[in-house]
Chains A and B, each alone.
Chain A
């Protein structure tokens, strides 16, 4: 099973996006969230705990999306720290459009590489 992890400065922002993803792509997906609660911000150790949880829920691979700069630094540091990581990919993609696009691909049985490609294509989508 491939899990999605949403890494944000704000836990509520990540949870809102998780809710949207499950509404659009179906709630068969495992979506984890990590982010600051009392204070905004995220660090690598918080991301590692979430990797562990997703792994415990049966995810052999995890596709990570981040909101802004340091969320990616935290995610990539966590991936390096978490030695027993399995397949963890950090997607260079827009947080909302990218994660929704990837979720649609995964929910319909797509592979992780297809999900990443679809997420990256979201950079090209104009909204109006």
Chain B
């Protein structure tokens, strides 16, 4: 992972979320307050400007992870902002303070990123949240033999990520606002899981393409 790829990842994610904003709002309207797409689009729009206007182009991976995290934390709002934001800020220490890292370090960064999200949100796999996509995806990457390139592994992972995301449809929410709905939360894909799947799609297009 290089600084350039990391920046492309977030720019891709901003674009994919913007394209899916209406759908994400609709998913959230079914089991929440209907603003997941709008909030994430706003926050990621601010992340995009980090590269558009900043003269400070020479940030290293560690600093970038913190900066993107702080931006999401303060501009997305709600649980998503704090989860994406503090996940990135805390995982930053896994990155070296340099312009690139090897694949193994990047997998460790992802593991820390998702670990922080789980810890902050106190969510586990099966609770119908973003963790239902994030955790199994990282675990799959860790379990597949490291002699296969990260690029190939990420590419193969895409189909599974779709299944993880769609799999939240049959779950009953145990965390977040949707949990107040009890069994009525069943039958809708979780918006946080859906947007998380877009992130993995971007990772594949940036690193696997």
- Which residues of A does B touch, CB under 8 Å? 39, 41-45, 68-70, 73-74, 76-77, 80-81
With A69-B176, A73-B121, A77-B73 in contact, is A44–B78 under 8 Å at CB? no
* Residues from chain B with Cβ under 8 Å of A39 in the complex: 77
> How many contacts A-B (CB < 8 Å)?
43
- Which residues of B does A touch, CB under 8 Å? 73-74, 76-79, 81-83, 85-86, 89-90, 120-121, 175-177
Residue among A68, A73, A76, A80 with the highest chain B CB neighbour number at 10 A:
A73
With A44-B73, A45-B74, A68-B177 in contact, is A77–B79 under 8 Å at CB? no
B56 to chain A, nearest CB (A): 20
Overall SS of chain B's interface: helix
7 contacts between A and B (CB under 8 A): A41-B78, A43-B74, A43-B82, A44-B73, A69-B79, A73-B83, A80-B86
B120 to chain A, nearest CB (A): 6
A98 and B21 CA atoms in complex are apart in Å by 38
- Are A73 and B73 neighbours in the complex by a CB distance under 8 Å? no
- Are B77 and A43 neighbours in the complex by a CB distance under 8 Å? yes
- Are B77 and A41 neighbours in the complex by a CB distance under 8 Å? yes
With A76-B120, A77-B120 in contact, is A44–B177 under 8 Å at CB? no
- Are B79 and A73 neighbours in the complex by a CB distance under 8 Å? yes
A80 and B92 CA atoms in complex are apart in Å by 14
A74 CB contact (under 8 Å) in B82, B90, B175, B177 = B82
